[in-house]
Structures are given as structure tokens and as C-alpha cells.
Amino acid sequence: MVEDKKELLCRIAGLLFQKGLVSGKDGNISIKTGEDEMLITPSGICKGFLTPDMIIRQRFDGTIIEGSLKSTREAGMHSRLYELRPDIGAVVHTHPAAATAFAVCGRKFPENWLLEVPALIGKIGIAGFAPAGSAELVAEVEKVADSDVIFLQNHGVITYGPDIYEAFSRMDAVENTAKTILYSQILGDVREF
């Protein structure tokens, strides 16, 4: 069961990389596997090249159960979301260019431009700036954990869902929506509904 989830995590990481939703060595992805346990991607490895033996199995307090690589410094952020939201089964955190541009500017998507925003993406929360991997960042994420998507100020995006498929699909939808909004602004004359 855990081995299957490691393979799934690698497959989703590869899709994120292929679609340009994660680049270089950035981002981190996790799947909750128990009340106090998750599988999470390691630090410093390109998501397009992950293999199941690289995946870290760890407790929410950071204790490594299995894995020889270094865990991501963002593991605390994933753990805290699982603790606050029992409905979450997987978390995706990446820095997709268009959506991250909104996060850099501290802006949410307009809710009356695209049907996808209220229907597929849902409520967007903006977490204030804090250094990556810091307790301050976890505290900022806590403030908006009731959202469906979190924009991290000057950092990136977090999506989640009951499973990794939903978390991935939401990240894909967020980036596509961000691009569509930016293209619409270039064209001008946006028609609101």
C-alpha cells in the first residue's frame, strides 16, 4: 500500500514537471498515510526525476520513519494542514509562474471572469510573507487553512484535496486560470458575468 503511494507520488510529481507546474528543484508534494504520518518528496531533487526509493516517510513531528534523503524544509507546512483539515489527503506546493505572479502581487483571481474560479478552484486565501520552511510561514498558512487554495505571498501556491488527483487537478486549474486572466488583461475589454 505505502509502496503504491510512493509510485503514485512520483507519477504526479512527473506530471507536474511535464506540465511546467514545477521547475528545477522547487516545490514539494505529500500524501497522508495515517493519523500522524505522510509520504513527502525530498529536498533538492527535481520532481521530474523522482523514484519511489527517494520518497520520505515521516511523522508529522518530523521524525523520519523511512528514507535516506533529506526531507523538504516545508514538511511542517504539510503536517499542519493535515492536522487542521482532516478532509485533506494530499498537498501540492509548487511555484507555477502565472499563479505565483498573483501571489507575488498579493492578488486573488476575479470571481466573475471565469466559471472555473467559483466552480473548480473555490476560495483562495493569501498567506502573508514569511521565509520558506519557517515556523512563521506555518503560522501564516494556518490563518487561511479554511481556503481551497493558498497563495503564499512572494513564494508560490498550495493546493490540496481528499487525494493526490484532486490536489494535482486543482494546481493545474489554478495555473490555467492565472494564464487565462493574464491573457485577458492583455487583450482588454473583459466581459464579466
Catalytic residues: 74
Residue 47 CB neighbour total at 10 angstroms: 25
Q: For residue 143, give the C-alpha cell.
A: 490563518
Q: For residue 118, give the C-alpha cell.
A: 467559483
Distance CA 141, CA 143 (A): 5
CB 67 within 8 A of CB 111: no
Mapped onto helix, strand or coil, the DSSP state of residue 29 is strand
Cα separation values, 12 from 7, 63, 119, 132, Å: 9, 24, 23, 23
Strand partners, 29: 92
